[in-house]
Amino acid sequence: GDITEKLCPDGMVFNDFSSEYEKCDLPFNIDCSQRPKRQPPQPSQNCPRKNGYFSHEEPNVCNKFYYCVDGKFNMIVCPDGLVYNDKNGICTWPDEAQKKGCSSKEVFKFDCPKVSETVGQTHPRYPDPEDCQYFYVCIDGVTPRRNGCKLGQAFDERTQKCDWARKIPECAEWYKGQLTDEQLYALENPPTPKPRPTGPINRRKH
């Protein structure tokens, strides 16, 4: 048969995993190092190309990015503590993204205290100095990653665990003005599910 040249939509690349299928894919999913040439971009507002995931135009905006389809964009916000990783098009920890201006220190404004190598291997935890509900896990004692406790709870530095805020003196009033005493009680004492009947199963004869 005749050979016909086809072109993927702008921003997509051909997935050559099988000659039986015509599939265009995002560049993150395909190794194009042996065929790096791409069509001229067709940019539009916030979309360097018509399709794909793209970093925010301001380099110091770490947690927002654009998802473009046919030249139309949607802005997406990463979950708290994560930044957009332009190497794989997803939200990751700052140290994994390695994005300029978006390091762990710049995102969290927190430095892991210096510890011995032995202590560092335990990934020590430290309370967030500004928010009782959150704490930092220092990977290998060096790289901070922010984690959180459940609503109504706070991080207890003494036990290195989350507990109800009222039990931690320095955080006992943390939720005052955010949650009522009744709401805190309900969080701490969820209703017990009713047990299912354990009697014999009535099987009707047909």
The residues pairing with 162 across neighbouring beta strands, listed in sequence order, are 155
Q: C-alpha angle 127/131/133, rounded to 5°?
A: 75
Strands 134-139 and 13-14: unpaired
For residue 136, what pLDDT is reported?
A: 96
Q: Against a cut of 0.85, is the pTM above it?
A: no
Q: What is the pLDDT of residue 190?
A: 87
State how far the Cα of 206 lies from the Cα of 203, in Å rounded to an integer: 9
Task: Report d(CA 54, CA 65) in Å as an integer.
Answer: 6
Backbone angles phi, psi at 164, to 5 degrees: -65, 135
- pLDDT value for 201: 60
Does 2.170.140 match the CATH number of domain 110-188? yes
Write out the two tokens for 51: 């399709």
pLDDT tens, the chain, 206 aa long: 677 888 999 999 998 877 777 889 999 988 888 888 899 999 999 999 999 999 999 988 999 999 999 999 999 999 989 999 999 999 999 999 999 999 999 999 999 999 999 988 999 999 999 999 999 999 999 999 999 999 999 999 999 999 999 999 999 999 999 999 999 999 999 888 777 766 666 666 55
pLDDT at 22: 82
CATH class of this structure's domain 13-94: mainly beta
Helix (H, G, I), strand (E, B) or coil at 118: helix
Q: What is the pLDDT of residue 158?
A: 95
- Residue 42: the pLDDT is 96
Phi/psi zone of residue 176: left (φ > 0), alpha (ψ -120 to 50 degrees), beta?
A: beta
Q: Give span(s): CATH 2.170.140, the chain.
A: 13-94, 110-188
